[in-house]
């Protein structure tokens, strides 16, 4: 599918219809053309100010919690019902700080996750912007673990950020995987380096080599478009971010700008190839401009179930 079926926002603008040659005001009193133009200009300016205030101070703080139930035959029975929480693109230091992280963590806790996955861009530029939030993230618990990959914004100080994420209790997957076991059954969580960074760059053979054949596998990859390059590998679910959903979406047009690496897959759930599902999270933070419009920040809560029959 080329367009996601979930998380589309539709807005129906409302307002008064103006006649081509308006001539009356309140009480039937005629108004001049100059008065009409002045009032129209004032209305447009007011609408712009309202939209600007909403997109700056309103929507970036209006978190949407998306809940999806997904089924696979490959999911081991002991993992059926697993609750996975996915967040992405916090961009600490730009338009988000530790106060915002507290709010995010409250919602993650309320979801009661078994597994937590973060798909990159924990900071916008500087590693010290994460320091205050390390104890907050460290307080998050999930019985099956907390996993993370780096995003393109994280590579300016990658080693420092890896240390901080590990101090927060995350296992950072850099072209490697981890097996999660329950009894005699297991699933894999794999993670790769960022697609836009040349060194070290993603290495699917290193990330997924050694995963036992037939193992249900979740891939964390910051850029969603990379899904087309790993179709030869057995991956059931890819979790990505990077796009911010476009951050600004225009009615009937969609996102006028999306970054490289998320041009084809922008927001929501997609099927890639014959069977793989890809989910693109719109991210928690913002970058380049502190605005969102028709593109709320997102936290995704998945319930994974075994398909019977």
Per residue in 96-143, pLDDT (tens digit) is 999 999 999 999 999 999 999 999 999 999 999 999 999 999 999 999
Nearest by Cα to 148 from 236, 233, 82, 86: 86
Architecture in CATH of 63-306: 4-Layer Sandwich (3.60)
Name the pTM for this structure. Answer: 0.83
- pLDDT at position 39, please? 52
Distance CA 269, CA 215 (A): 22
What's the mean pLDDT when you consider all of the chain? 87
Percent of the chain at pLDDT above 70? 83
| 32 or 200: which leads in pLDDT | 200
What SS3 state is found at 259?
coil
Domain ranges of the chain: 63-306
Alpha helices in 5-97 (DSSP H): 33-53
């Amino acid at each position: 599918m080329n367009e996601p079926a979930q998380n589309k926002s539709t807005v129906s603008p409302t307002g008064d219809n103006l006649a081509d040659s308006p001539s009356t005001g309140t009480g039937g009193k005629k108004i001049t053309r100059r008065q009409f133009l002045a009032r129209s200009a004032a209305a447009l300016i007011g609408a712009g100010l309202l939209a600007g205030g909403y997109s700056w101070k309103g929507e970036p703080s209006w978190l949407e919690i998306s809940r999806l139930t997904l089924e696979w035959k490959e999911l081991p029975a002991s993992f059926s019902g697993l609750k996975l929480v996915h967040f992405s693109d916090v961009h600490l230091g730009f338009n988000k700080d530790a106060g915002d992280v507290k709010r995010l963590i409250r919602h993650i806790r309320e979801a009661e996750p078994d597994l937590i996955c973060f798909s990159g861009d924990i900071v916008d530029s500087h590693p010290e912007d994460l320091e205050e939030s390390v104890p907050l993230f460290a307080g998050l618990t999930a019985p099956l673990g907390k996993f993370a990959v780096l995003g393109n914004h994280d590579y300016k100080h990658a080693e420092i950020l890896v240390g901080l994420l590990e101090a927060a209790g995350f296992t950072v997957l850099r072209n490697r995987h981890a097996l999660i076991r329950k009894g005699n059954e297991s699933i894999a969580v794999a993670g790769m380096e960022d697609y836009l960074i040349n060194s070290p760059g993603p290495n699917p053979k290193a990330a997924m080599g050694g995963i036992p054949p037939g193992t249900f596998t979740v891939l964390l990859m910051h850029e969603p478009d990379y899904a087309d390059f790993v179709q030869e590998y057995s991956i059931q679910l890819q979790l990505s971010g990077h796009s911010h959903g476009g951050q600004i979406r225009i009615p009937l047009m969609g996102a006028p700008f999306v970054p490289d690496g998320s041009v084809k897959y922008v927001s929501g759930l997609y099927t890639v190839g014959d069977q793989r599902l890809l989910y693109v999270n719109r991210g928690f933070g913002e970058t380049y401009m502190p605005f969102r419009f028709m593109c709320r920040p997102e936290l995704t809560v998945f319930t994974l179930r075994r398909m019977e029959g």
